[in-house]
Amino acid sequence: MTDDRVYPASKPPVAVGAATANPTFPATKAQLYSANRPAYRPPAPRRRTHTRGCCCRCCCWTILVIILLILLVAAASAVVYLIYRPQRPSFTVSSLSVSSLNLTSATRLVTAISLSVVAKNPNKNVGFSYDAADVTVYRVSPGDDDDVVIGKGSIASFVHGKKNTTLLKSTVGSPPGDLDELSAGKLKGDLKAKRGVAVKIVMNTKVEVKMGSVKTPKSGIRVTCEGIRATAPTGKKATTAVTNAAKCKVDLRVKVWKFTF
């Protein structure tokens, strides 16, 4: 009986010294990512710009020019002052007569005041040119900051020559609108008192200074006169206020943008 079983063929012989082939495997994720990733190239060095340096130089030159201009203006002002020796003008209340100062109702005030002010220019080489001035008369009280407007008027524009004395006159009328009840009550109490009403006069205007051929821009000026006492007339005859202790102060007012100093 014959044997019909089939036996697998034996592996082919391998020659001695022949290289053995390594088996191949699928690529890993890391290998795939590295294959698709572009090669790293360092960025090109940035070129330095000179913009910042130019801005710094411009700022420095601008500041230097401003400082030089300020120094030149200060030097010119010092020279002018030494040559002309300008002094402030002075103002004095020469008379104030009251024809009417009555409350016709609880808050309605009727005012009629004649005001005379003497303006003196002590300078030999300096002249002044004034615009029209606004005149406001206040009722004041020591320790009370709430001044009450009791009259409004004006003074016409005028030229104040060298070593000149000018008499200024104004007619002061009733304030616009009614007083509030608190202000009317304070004024009513003063009108009944024997000492009368303590009065303050404030004049606001603009002045141009002329020194030789040099004229300055117009600047605001305020004249404040205090130490005046007035009484209301009881009949048709006007009363004269006491002005012996009156003192006037002159202040230069400088306006910067919306603010006045």
pLDDT in tens, the chain (261 residues): 455 555 555 555 555 555 555 555 566 655 555 555 666 666 665 655 556 667 888 888 889 899 999 998 888 777 777 777 788 899 999 999 999 999 998 899 999 999 999 999 999 989 999 999 999 999 998 877 789 999 999 999 999 999 999 999 999 999 998 999 999 998 999 998 888 999 999 999 999 999 888 888 899 999 999 999 999 998 889 999 999 999 999 998 755 444 443
Q: What's the pLDDT at 133?
A: 97
Whole-angstrom distance, CA of residue 152 vs CA of residue 171 = 8
Q: Alpha-carbon distance 239 to 193, whole Å?
A: 15
pLDDT of residue 136: 97
What separation in angstroms does the CA of 130 have from each of 68, 98, 114, 218, 224? 33, 27, 21, 9, 16
Chain centre distance of CA 189: 39
Report CA-CA distances (Å) from 30 to 36, 138, 192: 10, 94, 107
State both tokens at 210. Answer: 């002329």
Burial class (CB in 10 A: 0-12, 13-18, 19+), 233: middle
CA distance 64 to 144: 50
The residues with which 72 forms a beta bridge, in sequence order, are none
Whole-model pTM: value is: 0.69
pLDDT at 41: 66
Classify the C-alpha dihedral 219-156-119-81 as positive or negative: positive
